[in-house]
Structure 1
């Protein structure tokens, strides 16, 4: 059996109880060494076979899985955050389907959740933003034309931009071209929930300058939007004059 496990956003105690148990029981672990906190490997049992996928091709990863399966071993494929977000798991699953190898997925805490925690922010605020856009800049891996930064920026929603720290000058230009003003609040969250986490608040126009000033070149999320300014109106859910299934309105 192959278990795809979300490692969480960085801190080793932010993995799920299920994910930790799967790591403890695994005979083979293939982990994304460029992103996953290596402290999570401390949960592995003695004698567990460990592979760093940062040094491997897709074919090599699948070969390890297939060999483990043929030997009756349990494999954990450990991905950063939640594997459904930029985890490249679908291509692995299709190969396993072709080989008739069973697998399942254990979700994890995505880094965009870790970033919000570091910022003490809420992405969805009444009258500010009710939509969160998770995206990335086009690089060696292209982005569909209909999902360009400009077209997404036009919504003025809360935006979390992955895998783009090395392209911040271009990112700023494209966000402004899409409709964000230059002084729209932004933040760079470096290694959210890790011990060396860093939060740098800035504006859309000053993203590149802020990253350079703080020596941030990778492993960071970019957050953009007015949600970073705080609350403008209160949630109806807890309003004294709002009736719910569980509470009657307070008498005036």
Structure 2
């Protein structure tokens, strides 16, 4: 069995219980070395083979998985955050399907959720934003035309922007072209939940300057939207004047 495991956002104790058990039982671990906390490997069993996929191609990763399956070994493919978000997991699963190899996926805490906890923020606030857009700037990997930053910005929803910390000048410009005012609240979270985490509060117009002043050019998430502000409507769920299935409104 091949097991894809979400390692969580960074802190070693934010992996799921199920993911940790699979990791402790593994005979072979292939981990995303550029982003996964190496402390997670401390609990692997003696003799476990460890591979850093930062130095490997897709084909090399799959070759290790196929060999492990033939040798009846437990293989863990350890991804950062949750593998469903920018994890390049589909191409791995398709090749395993072609090889007739079974696999499972264990979800993890995504970095955008870890960062929200660090920010002590709620993305979905009544009368502010009820939608969260997870996206990225195009680089060597393009994005569909309808998903360009300025097009998504027109919704004025909460935005979480991955893999774009090195392009903040362009990002700032394009967010404003899409309709965000220059003074719109923004935040940069570097290495969310890691010991060297940094949180910088800024505005859409000052994203590039704020990152430069703090020496940040990679491994950071960008948050945009007034969920970072102070204005919002109280939720109806706990409003004493609001009835629902479990509670009658107060009179």
When normalised by structure 1's length, the TM-score is 0.99
Query: Aligned partners of 1:195, 1:37: CA distance in 2, in Å?
Result: 11
1:103 shift after superposition: 0.3
Query: Over residues 116-151 of structure 1, what are the superposed CA-to-partner deviations in whole Å (9 max), with x where a residue is unaligned?
Result: 111110000000000000000000111111100001
Matches within 5 A, 1:159-174: 159-174=159-174
Query: Aligned partners of 2:117, 2:61: CA distance in 1, in Å?
Result: 33
Query: Aligned partners of 2:79, 2:159: CA distance in 1, in Å?
Result: 23
User: Residue 237 of structure 2: SS of its match in structure 1?
Assistant: helix
1:230 shift after superposition: 3.1
Query: Aligned partners of 1:210, 1:197: CA distance in 2, in Å?
Result: 15
Residue matched to 1:70: 70
Residue matched to 1:216: 216
8 Å CA contact 1:8–1:110 kept in 2: the answer is yes
8 Å CA contact 1:32–1:80 kept in 2: the answer is yes
Residue matched to 1:127: 127
- Where in structure 2 are there 5+ consecutive unaligned residues? none
Query: Over residues 152-186 of structure 1, what are the superposed CA-to-partner deviations in whole Å (9 max), with x where a residue is unaligned?
Result: 00000000000000000000000000010110000
When normalised by structure 2's length, the TM-score is 0.99
User: Residue 236 of structure 1: SS of its match in structure 2?
Assistant: coil
Query: How many corresponding residue pairs?
Result: 251
User: Residue 176 of structure 2: SS of its match in structure 1?
Assistant: helix
Confirm whether residue 144 of structure 1 aligns to residue 144 of structure 2.
Answer: yes
Query: Aligned partners of 1:42, 1:52: CA distance in 2, in Å?
Result: 14
Residue matched to 1:225: 225
Query: Aligned partners of 1:185, 1:9: CA distance in 2, in Å?
Result: 23
1:231 shift after superposition: 4.2
Query: Aligned partners of 1:116, 1:231: CA distance in 2, in Å?
Result: 18
1:244 shift after superposition: 1.4
User: Residue 210 of structure 2: SS of its match in structure 1?
Assistant: helix
Confirm whether residue 104 of structure 1 aligns to residue 104 of structure 2.
Answer: yes
Superposition CA RMSD, Å: 0.6
User: Residue 221 of structure 2: SS of its match in structure 1?
Assistant: strand
Query: Aligned partners of 2:14, 2:167: CA distance in 1, in Å?
Result: 29
Query: Aligned partners of 2:51, 2:39: CA distance in 1, in Å?
Result: 14
Query: Over residues 25-71 of structure 1, what are the superposed CA-to-partner deviations in whole Å (9 max), with x where a residue is unaligned?
Result: 00000000001011111121111000000000001000100111111
Query: Aligned partners of 2:64, 2:205: CA distance in 1, in Å?
Result: 46
Residue matched to 1:245: 245
Matches within 5 A, 1:177-192: 177-192=177-192
- Where in structure 1 are there 5+ consecutive unaligned residues? none
Residue matched to 1:57: 57
Query: Aligned partners of 2:72, 2:230: CA distance in 1, in Å?
Result: 53
User: Residue 123 of structure 1: SS of its match in structure 2?
Assistant: coil
Query: Aligned partners of 2:200, 2:164: CA distance in 1, in Å?
Result: 16
Residue matched to 2:155: 155
User: Residue 183 of structure 2: SS of its match in structure 1?
Assistant: coil
Query: Aligned partners of 2:232, 2:221: CA distance in 1, in Å?
Result: 25
